[in-house]
Amino acid sequence: MNINWYPGHMKKTKDLLQENLKLVNIVIEVIDARIPISSKNPDFDNLFRDKKRLIVLNKYDLADPNLNKAWEAYYKSKGWSVVLYNSTNNKELRKLDNAIAEASKEIVERYKKRGLLNRTIKAMIVGIPNVGKSTLINSLAKRKSAKTGNMPGVTKGKQWIRLTGNIDLLDTPGILWPKFDDDKLALNLAFTGAIRDEVIVLEEISLKFVEKMIELNKVDAILEKYDIEQGEKPLDILDNIAYKKGFLLNKTEIDYLRVANLLFNDFRNGKLGNITLEKPEELN
């Protein structure tokens, strides 16, 4: 399987990032904690190599707690600031504010030594589609998303947002990369919804998801959720879900699309439990 997904607007977004990088002090990169490898654009490490970086492992509440700690330790070992975050929980907003302030501390101190007090810190927030970046920004901006105006970068497709703590945040559209040569990576993005369901064969992807759960020894989460037997083949699991739920087009034909929609909705909403699809050692 080879998923190609690089619309023209994503190339424009990459150009936008390069054009505005000189305006910012710090880059905040939002990653899906369930797929920290697949949801991290490989272009970013080269593009932002000279910038202070804060990694936000978003949706950590849906991921495996032990692997959350492992990924946090891994990114800290790279010299980056890291925060585990849930963008749908406003109670965690202070934790994110503190992480941004901590990541900016070195820059603030440098300004102070130069006699520049209360200097505004400019941050750029980046991430692939559907990692929760927009929800995070709305929380940070207290849902005002107000443009600060009269600054470079206030154009269609991007905006500066004034945050507490004397920080201006440059929002940018989500961006994937030109080609997915690694099937595992492409599938992980499809599983979590980073690639829109409309551009993939969801029924086929759902079978790949079942195979992934078997590989990770997480298939019991599916069996328990739908109260079914595993069967001899991965396809049997989809069949058994369909029969259990009555997802039939007629007495014998299974509605695999309906099964796939149920399975992915439950996975993406954490109803199959806390599941992380990737481990740090895979990078080695």
Binding site per annotation, positions for GTP: 58-61, 86-87, 130-135, 174
Amino acid identity at 7: P
Q: Which two tokens stand for residue 236?
A: 């049997």
| Closest CA relative to residue 29, chosen from 162, 163, 199, 174 | 174
For residue 31, report the phi and psi dihedrals to the nearest 5 degrees: -125, 145
By three-state DSSP, how is residue 281 classified? helix
- Residue linked to tokens 């949706």: 59
Q: How many CB atoms lie within 10 A of CB 135?
A: 17
Please report, in range form, the residues annotated as the binding site.
58-61, 86-87, 130-135, 174
Distance CA 186, CA 150 (A): 40
* β-bridge pairing 121-126 and 26-32: parallel
Report whether 12 contacts 157 (CB < 8 A).
Answer: yes
Amino acid identity at 1: M
